[in-house]
């Protein structure tokens, strides 16, 4: 081999390597990040290597606000989200009279316990506690935690624990209130304070955090529409100085609610939009959906602005291992399907001919021999798995037989063609009329 062709080959290999790397690093989410339910008021919490995303829940038939419970989703890669269903509901508060009003919650961990602060609009703020971020959550005090004389304003609680161990609870619309929580996180000391330096544009939805010795207060700003603005301070008690908008207010949305985290070395802002419902109907309904984007801090601690949530969302942080059991309700995108739950947990339902689930950035470190698919049905159908697009190469076609019951789960096994590298998977459902089957989990076998 002469010197030129050797150099040429090295260059070719480097280019191919770069193309491969770019393919992985540009795998992005699609927005909104959840499509199987209407979700609002995102409250992400990082625990170990996972994001626990608590959301409020706009019912499928909501016209105005119809909100009965709170949902939980998790992700380790910012792209594929697993639904865990209803994590708490109005019914968890025996004293609450509300049959609506499960507005914006937030969860925080302290000494191995998880505290979920829950507003019942017009009914005060309660607190639930659990030994696990997945629940079950229980009411430890059997009464309102915040029981003020401005109960209509007592929404959107946001807990924060400072480095010295002092915990605070912030909340309120149209004013910002706070109180010092005791170390037990289920009681407080001192008076409820109405923040005197209510920052510019403050509407509701406070979210407090600390980074590099700066205290941040983000909130739904301007009305209406609401965007996401923020202020900074050198104390958790203010005074707060308005710094600008993280996400501008836009005609495309109405309300908003920030949720801001650092995760695996990057920072993210969550909010919500009406983009999903708008893609389905031109009638206005209070049915929102959670979006997320990466945010960048400047050297002075200020945050760079986004005009709106991006169409593609954040990049995937790490690939997904297809050789461990993956719940069917883990997905980056879906068309047509919904989720439900039974004793086995959450599963994908309302599957019709032509519907699909997309899982992004799946890493076949080794070519699998077969796949196990756990389904249940009173009908039959087919699951095709396509690579990289809904009509991409088919690596398996699995016939799903009638299992005798909508939750009579059975494992179906299907041979898989050779596949290596990182791919998006499209589980495309085929069959006759009506609902085909329910889908619980899958796992590739080496």
Q: How far is the CB of 150 from ligand FUB (least distance, A)?
A: 15
Q: CB atoms < 10 A from the CB of 95, how many?
A: 13
* Contact call for residue 368 and ligand FUB (CB under 6 A): no
CB-wise, 125 or 419, nearer to ligand FUB?
125
* Contact call for residue 327 and ligand FUB (CB under 6 A): no
CB-wise, 67 or 371, nearer to ligand FUB?
67
What binding mask, one character per residue, do residues 104-143 give for ligand FUB by CB under 6 A, x or -? x---------------------------------------
With contact defined as beta carbons under 8 Å apart, do 276 and 38 qualify? yes
* Nearest CA among 191, 251, 205, 256 for reference residue 226: 256
Counting every residue written for the chain, the total comes to 446
The rounded distance, in Å, linking the Cα atoms of 405 and 342 is 12
51: which residues sit within 8 A by CB, 6+ positions away?
44, 45, 74, 75, 76, 78, 261, 263
CB-wise, 120 or 371, nearer to ligand FUB?
120
CB-wise, 56 or 440, nearer to ligand FUB?
56
CB-wise, 73 or 444, nearer to ligand FUB?
73
With contact defined as beta carbons under 8 Å apart, do 265 and 286 qualify? no
The tokens of 222 are what? Answer: 């301007």
CB-wise, 156 or 291, nearer to ligand FUB?
156
CB-wise, 258 or 381, nearer to ligand FUB?
258
The rounded distance, in Å, linking the Cα atoms of 334 and 330 is 10
Q: Hey, which residues between 338 and 357 contact ligand FUB (CB under 6 A)?
A: none
Question: Quick one: which of 57, 84, 144, 257 contacts ligand FUB (CB under 6 A)?
Answer: 257
Q: Compute how many residues bind ligand FUB; rule: CB under 6 A.
A: 13
CB-wise, 245 or 428, nearer to ligand FUB?
245
Q: How far is the CB of 202 from ligand FUB (least distance, A)?
A: 12
* Contact call for residue 57 and ligand FUB (CB under 6 A): no
CB-wise, 35 or 256, nearer to ligand FUB?
256
* Contact call for residue 255 and ligand FUB (CB under 6 A): yes
* Contact call for residue 103 and ligand FUB (CB under 6 A): yes
* Contact call for residue 71 and ligand FUB (CB under 6 A): no
Question: Quick one: which of 27, 220, 249, 422 contacts ligand FUB (CB under 6 A)?
Answer: 220
* Contact call for residue 40 and ligand FUB (CB under 6 A): yes
210: which residues sit within 8 A by CB, 6+ positions away?
160, 162, 163, 216, 236
* Contact call for residue 229 and ligand FUB (CB under 6 A): no
The rounded distance, in Å, linking the Cα atoms of 13 and 416 is 29
CB-wise, 208 or 220, nearer to ligand FUB?
220
Q: How far is the CB of 255 from ligand FUB (least distance, A)?
A: 4
Q: How far is the CB of 370 from ligand FUB (least distance, A)?
A: 45
Chain residue whose CB lies nearest ligand FUB: 103
Q: Hey, which residues between 179 and 208 contact ligand FUB (CB under 6 A)?
A: 204-205
Q: How far is the CB of 73 from ligand FUB (least distance, A)?
A: 16
* Contact call for residue 156 and ligand FUB (CB under 6 A): yes
Give me the residues that bind ligand FUB (CB under 6 A), please: 40-41, 56, 65, 103-104, 155-156, 204-205, 220, 255, 257
């Amino acid at each position: 081999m002469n010197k030129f062709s050797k150099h040429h080959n090295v260059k070719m290999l480097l280019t191919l390597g770069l193309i491969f790397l770019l393919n992985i690093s540009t795998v992005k989410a699609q927005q909104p990040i959840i499509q199987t339910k209407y979700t609002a008021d995102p409250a992400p919490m990082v625990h170990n290597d996972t994001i626990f995303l608590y959301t409020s829940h706009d019912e499928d038939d909501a016209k105005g606000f119809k909100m009965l419970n709170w949902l939980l989703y998790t992700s380790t890669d910012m792209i594929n989200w697993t639904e865990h269903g209803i994590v708490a509901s109005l019914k968890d508060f025996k004293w609450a009279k509300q049959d609506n009003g499960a507005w914006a919650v937030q969860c925080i961990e302290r000494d191995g316990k998880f505290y979920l602060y829950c507003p019942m609009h017009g009914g005060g703020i309660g607190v639930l506690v659990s030994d696990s971020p997945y629940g079950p959550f229980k009411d430890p005090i059997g009464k309102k935690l915040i029981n003020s004389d401005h109960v209509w304003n007592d929404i959107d609680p946001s807990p924060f624990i400072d480095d010295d161990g002092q915990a605070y609870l912030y909340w309120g619309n149209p004013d910002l209130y706070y109180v010092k929580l005791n170390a037990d996180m289920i009681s407080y000391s001192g008076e409820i304070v109405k923040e005197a330096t209510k920052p510019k544009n403050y509407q509701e939805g406070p979210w407090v955090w600390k980074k590099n010795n700066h205290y941040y207060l983000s909130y739904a700003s301007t009305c209406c529409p609401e965007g996401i603005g923020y202020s900074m301070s050198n104390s958790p008690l203010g005074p707060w100085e308005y710094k600008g908008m993280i996400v501008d207010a836009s005609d495309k949305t109405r309300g908003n609610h920030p949720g801001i985290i650092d995760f695996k070395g990057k920072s993210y802002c969550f909010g919500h939009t009406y983009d999903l419902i708008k893609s389905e109907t031109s009638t206005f309904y209070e049915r929102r959906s959670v979006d997320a984007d990466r945010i960048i801090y400047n050297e002075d601690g200020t945050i760079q602005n986004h005009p709106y949530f991006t169409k593609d969302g954040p990049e995937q942080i790490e690939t997904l291992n297809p050789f461990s059991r993956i719940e069917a309700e883990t997905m980056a995108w879906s068309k047509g399907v919904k989720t439900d739950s039974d004793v086995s947990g959450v599963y994908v339902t309302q599957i019709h001919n032509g519907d699909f689930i997309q899982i992004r950035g799946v890493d076949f470190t080794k070519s699998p021999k077969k796949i196990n698919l756990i389904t249940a049905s009173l009908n039959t159908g087919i699951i095709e798995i396509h690579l990289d697009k809904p009509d991409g190469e088919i690596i398996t076609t699995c016939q799903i037989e009638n299992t005798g019951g909508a939750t009579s789960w059975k494992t179906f096994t299907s041979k898989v063609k050779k596949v290596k590298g990182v791919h998006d998977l499209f589980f495309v459902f085929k069959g006759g009329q009506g609902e085909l089957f329910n889908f619980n989990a899958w796992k590739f076998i080496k």
